[in-house]
Amino acid sequence: MRVFLNVGGVAHHVVVEGAGPVVVLSAGLGMSWFDWDPVVPLLAPHHTVVRFDRPGHGLSGPALVPPTAAGEAHRIAGLLDALGIAGLVTVAGHSIAGFHAEAFARLYPARTARLVLVDSSIEEHARPPSAPALRLALARAAAAVLCRTGIPAALGPAARRATVRMSRTGGGDPAPRDLVRLCYRTSRVMRGMVLENATYGAVAAELLLLRRRLPLPAVPVTLLAGAAGGPSWTTRQRALASGLGATFQLAAGAGHLVMLDAPGLVAGAIFPTPPLP
């Protein structure tokens, strides 16, 4: 099922497949729903898999407000409400969406069955940036200039494919070229990526505050890291897992886009054992 759901005044592109316990998949900055394609067939036979594009990503409408950690948690809850899903869900976040998934677990403990972080972003000492309004204005101005000069239409798909190639160890971009062109030639996606990048530090700092205020629910937490990030990255991922009381798994030979390089490991981290029939 593919639908567009209005949450917070933005049309969100949502894809729902399968039946059973619900898992929500949220991809990293600049990524789209189809970047989970290798994982979904491994989950959908026994689970309801919900994928969505954040504002300015994939096929969703443009963002109306700057992203925040709490705002992204509320977005996930709002989408579940719009879908009529009231029970417990597993939330899996990749890269920057790891911030969002963790925020959801802390703000909605009664709705969280399991938390999975896939090569999550880490900012151990993030602080709220100075002059956030100026930072946003400059980012939006830069995005406007890039869009007026036609950069997204000319270079967007090629930049996307190059980024994916550099972020994995298993080859190039497996996404269908027509979908890449459909999404990454638009100024909407360019603006969405610039906005999330400009607010990255603020979202990271907000999550640190949430960690001090709100405990994680007593549910399984798994952190899956791509080994290609190197020893320093692995050490930081292990430290994050320890701080969250999470099970740590290292995806040997996988890059940052673990869901493309090691989909079986990602599916296993989300649901270690299939449910009973």
- Supply the pLDDT for residue 253: 93
E strands of the chain, at which residues?
Answer: 2-7, 10-17, 22-26, 48-52, 89-94, 112-118, 221-226, 247-251
pLDDT tier for residue 273 given thresholds of 50, 70 and 90: low
- 73/70 Cα distance (integer angstroms): 5
Q: Quote the pLDDT of residue 277.
A: 39
d(CA 200, CA 123): 10
User: What number of residues does the chain have?
Assistant: 277
**CA 27/CA 192 separation, integer angstroms:** 14
The count of other CB atoms within 10 Å of the CB of residue 68 is 18
DSSP secondary structure letters along 8-68: TTEEEEEEEE--SSEEEEE--TT--GGGGTTTHHHHTTTSEEEEEPPTTSTTSPPPSS---
Please choose, from the candidates 102, 109, 80, the residue with its C-alpha nearest in 3D space to the C-alpha of residue 14.
Answer: 80
Q: What is the pLDDT of residue 132?
A: 86
Q: What does the pLDDT look like over 117-147, one tens digit per residue?
A: 999 999 999 999 888 889 899 999 999 999 9
Q: How many CB atoms lie within 10 A of CB 277?
A: 5
pTM, two decimal places: 0.96
Q: What is the model's pLDDT at position 275?
A: 45
Q: Which residue has the tokens 């920057």?
A: 96
Using the predicted structure, report yes or no on whether residue 200 has a pLDDT greater than 60: yes
For the chain, the distance separating the N- and C-terminal CA atoms, rounded to the nearest angstrom, is: 23
| DSSP codes of every residue in 141-155 | HHHHHHHHTTHHHHH
pLDDT(276) > 70: no
